[in-house]
Every structure is written in structure tokens, then in C-alpha cells.
Amino acid sequence: GAGVSQSPSNKVTEKGKDVELRCDPISGHTALYWYRQSLGQGLEFLIYFQGNSAPDKSGLPSDRFSAERTGGSVSTLTIQRTQQEDSAVYLCASSLPWGPYNEQFFGPGTRLTVL
């Protein structure tokens, strides 16, 4: 596809369940980011992947959150034992590694609701 895609677009789960969110970046973009957007909280950085380098996990809020990126392309964000405060829109973005101004291209997001 031409842009960043994310699936599912909406996910409703029960408290305590695990969820997996998927991101397909733009082909050729070696940098991939996950953000969380909560109502009134703005955009919270979660994790950043760049090529084969170790990911920057400094934004992950707890050890219930993890992410991987297979083959330098598709990424999966996993939230274990979901809590109600995990409800938010999870956005993925990708970018070229050496663009002149590091424009990030965002997917439409996955809206997660934890009941």
C-alpha cells in the first residue's frame, strides 16, 4: 500500500486479556514508531525501531507493554493483562532514516477499549 496501515482499527477487550496491535510501515522506511494518544493527553511516545539497532523502549509505560519488529518491516505492539487505563488510540508511524527533516508518516491508529 501507499501509506502506513494498522490493524485492527478498533479493538474491544476485557480487563486482564492480552492484545496485539499490528503496524505495516511504508516500504523502505527503516524507522518505525509507536505512540499512544489518550483523550486530553496528547501524543505519548512508546517505542522506536531503527533498522537493526536495538529499539528505544524508553517510553513503554510498564513491563506489560512490549513490541517487536520482524524482518525490519511489520511491527506488533503487545499489551499483556490489559487495564482500563490502557484504553487509547495507538498510532504507528514510519520514516526514512536520513530524510532532510525526518517527516513521520502516520497510520490511522487502533482504538483500544478495555472494559
Interface with other proteins: number of residues (CB under 8 A) = 24
Question: Does 56 participate in binding other proteins (rule CB under 8 A)?
Answer: yes
Question: Does 102 participate in binding other proteins (rule CB under 8 A)?
Answer: yes
Q: Which three cell numbers stand for residue 8?
A: 485492527
Interactions with other proteins, residue window 15-54 (CB under 8 A): 31, 33, 35, 40-43, 45, 48, 50
Question: Among residues 38, 81, 45, which one has the least CA distance to residue 63?
Answer: 81
Q: What is the distance between the alpha carbons of residues 10 and 72, in angstroms, rounded to a whole number?
A: 25
Burial of 82 (0-12, 13-18, 19+ CB in 10 A): buried
Question: Does 95 participate in binding other proteins (rule CB under 8 A)?
Answer: yes
Q: Rule CB under 8 A: which residues touch other proteins?
A: 4, 31, 33, 35, 40-43, 45, 48, 50, 56, 91, 93, 95, 97, 101-104, 106-109
